[in-house]
Amino acid sequence: MKLATILLGGQYRVAIVAEDQPARLLIARWRSVGDVIRAGVAPHTLEIEREIDGVDHLILAAPIPLPARNIFCVGKNYRDHAHEFAQSGFDAGGAADAVPAAAIIFSKVPDCVIATGEPIMFDPAISASIDYEGELAVIIGTGGYRISRAQAMAHVWGYTILNDVTARDVQSRHQQWLIGKSFDTFCPMGPWAVTADEIDLANTTLRTWVNGEKRQDANTADLIFDVPAIIEALSAGITLKPGDIIATGTPAGVGIGFKPPRYLQNGDQVAVEISGIGRLENEVRTV
């Protein structure tokens, strides 16, 4: 099932995206997909209050507009991207240790989340090196501590698309990733969330376009650390909670990987598409 969070009458509401007609939404009483997950309500049991045909006049919010905690992110989790990042000069490691031996985990603050259609904003006086990173994001359904690899998928509610927008110069200057990845608007997410049964992690494609030019094209089968491994590593010392979001990493083709780098500019259109989920689109604007 596909679940969206929409703005209806100035309030957040959960909507089921009808499989037979994507322009038809079934509106439930819940305020966000995150609320449904945290309450442990099965999507197929949601009580429908009304149906809406034609969604052009509606505003899609991010599926979880304000996550309860920082978003967990995995760095350098596709081999080709690990090598392009090592060769970019922004990596503390070198080419010899480009592929990490253990999952690299960082985070983005909740307040940087925006929806599809909302602008990615940046101030050139603060950063002129804005990059895109299309990623599959995992949404935790059942929380847990010390979750084994064998049990990890039982804790997954579903998935969405995430763009891990990054200020590369700020990332390099501070020698850590949280600040340069957490600017306001630097986490586009959506357009909706899909339940776990919708996605085959062994064969799911991820593609990113900038102004219609395809920049990233990969498959989740190429992840260095797959979803069970990531959940096992995170939960070894951190209790995962319902509604937690884990961005699984970006493939090769980010702006920093080009020579010279091809950073985002005012007016650029960025689209991330993942098979089985949909398409996340945002325009880049300067403030």
* pLDDT for 237 beyond 90: yes
Indicate whether 111 belongs to any domain: yes
CATH number at residue 108: 3.90.850.10
Question: For the residues 108-121, what does the mean pLDDT come to?
Answer: 98
Indicate whether 66 belongs to any domain: no
Q: 15, 32, 61 — which closes off a domain?
A: 61
C-alpha distances out from residue 218 to 158, 176, 226, 287, Å: 20, 26, 14, 32
Q: Predicted confidence band at 58 (pLDDT cuts at 50, 70, 90)?
A: confident
Indicate whether 141 belongs to any domain: yes
Indicate whether 248 belongs to any domain: yes
Q: 61, 79, 94 — which closes off a domain?
A: 61
Q: What total of structural domains would you count in the chain?
A: 2
Please tell me whether residues 16 and 139 are part of one structural domain.
Answer: no
Please tell me whether residues 110 and 238 are part of one structural domain.
Answer: yes
* pLDDT for 183 beyond 70: yes
Which residue range is the domain that position 197 belongs to?
A: 71-286
Please tell me whether residues 129 and 154 are part of one structural domain.
Answer: yes
Q: Of 9-23, 25-39, 208-222, 243-257, which gets the smallest average pLDDT?
A: 9-23
Question: For the residues 256-282, what does the mean pLDDT come to?
Answer: 97
Please tell me whether residues 22 and 92 are part of one structural domain.
Answer: no
* pLDDT for 149 beyond 90: yes
* pLDDT for 281 beyond 60: yes
Please tell me whether residues 104 and 24 are part of one structural domain.
Answer: no
* Global pTM value: 0.94
Please tell me whether residues 134 and 257 are part of one structural domain.
Answer: yes
Rounded to whole angstroms, how far apart are CA atoms 133 and 204? 17
Per-residue b or e along 77-96, where b marks 16 or more CB atoms closer than 10 Å to that residue's CB: bbeebbbbbbebebbeeeee
Please tell me whether residues 225 and 153 are part of one structural domain.
Answer: yes
Please tell me whether residues 172 and 250 are part of one structural domain.
Answer: yes
pLDDT value of position 88: 61
Indicate whether 215 belongs to any domain: yes
Please tell me whether residues 79 and 32 are part of one structural domain.
Answer: no
Please tell me whether residues 34 and 105 are part of one structural domain.
Answer: no
Please tell me whether residues 52 and 23 are part of one structural domain.
Answer: yes
The pLDDT mean for the chain works out to: 92
* pLDDT for 126 beyond 90: yes
What tens digit of pLDDT does each residue of 75-103 get?
A: 999 987 777 766 666 665 545 467 889 99
Please tell me whether residues 76 and 38 are part of one structural domain.
Answer: no
* pLDDT for 73 beyond 60: yes
Q: 42, 61, 80 — which closes off a domain?
A: 61
